[in-house]
Amino acid sequence: MIISVNTFITFTTAKSSFMKISTLSLLICFALFSINTEAQNKIRAFEFLGGYSTHGSGDMLGITFGGGYKTYLSKRFSLNYNMRAHINSSREKIIVNNVLVPGSRQDASVRFTTAGVQLGVNAGWSLIRTTQHEFMVSVGGFGRYQSASNGSDGYSLYFPATTGQPTVLVGYDNHTNQETITAGYIIQFHYNYTFKNNVFIGLLPGWQNDTNGDIITQVALTVGKRI
């Protein structure tokens, strides 16, 4: 078999071009595979939160804290399984002037504390989700255990001018449970910023209500890790 020089050069050039194209194609495929693998490997996250909350009409102030596990079922849709607790308190400020000791005052305030813990799951939709930034809206349901020092009952105050006693008397009429188990719903807005080591920090405001009529407004800072 006889191969001319021109044919050999053409064959060699074609082979070289084919090798370059093949190598480039392999590199592109490897890069795309790496990117895809990186994205798939970051479809779960653990997070912890802590912040501020108000209970009821806003007169009971307090804190919220908890944690959760998030899994992405698609690029934008995720489920968050979470635990959250709230501790809120308020008081009916009552200061009594002791008429027997001039200048002496007594703090006879009525103090209230409401604390609860809940387990729930939220469905989230990421309106924006990039390598660093994520903005998500989520809604969910939960089951909640709560204990309130005064239940949902009111009380009456009897002042010295009426009772003749040198202090304020408090009259209770307890007819609701101090402890309740309820179901509820929650609406949240999430913003997270992710660092290169896949640790993220964020802001999490939210609002919830339950079958006991306990409205809780909250805003928390979050910190977590994508895995």
185 and 216 inside one domain: yes
Mean pLDDT of 40-54: 88
Q: Considering the entire predicted model, what is its pTM? A: 0.77
Instruction: Please compute Rg for the chain using Cα positions.
Output: 31
34 and 76 inside one domain: no
23 and 54 inside one domain: no
119 and 79 inside one domain: yes
At residue 36, the pLDDT reads 40
State how far Cα 123 lies from the chain centre.
Answer: 12
CB of 55 within 8 A of CB of 216? yes
CATH code for the domain in which residue 193 is found: 2.40.160.20
103 and 166 inside one domain: yes
76 and 15 inside one domain: no
State how far Cα 14 lies from the chain centre.
Answer: 60
Residues 134-166: tens digit of each pLDDT: 999 999 999 999 999 988 888 888 988 888 887
Dist CA 27 CA 32 (whole Å): 9
49 and 125 inside one domain: yes
DSSP 119-159: EEEEEEEEEEE-SSEEEEEEEEEEEEEEEETTTT--EEEE-
68 and 123 inside one domain: yes
Domain span including residue 82: 43-226
User: How many separate domains does the chain show?
Assistant: 2
27 and 63 inside one domain: no
- For the chain, the helix, strand and coil percentages under 3-state DSSP, each to the nearest 5: 20, 60, 25
At residue 58, the pLDDT reads 78
Q: How many CA atoms lie within 13 A of 157 on its CB side?
A: 13
60-72 and 77-92 strand pairing: antiparallel
21 and 126 inside one domain: no
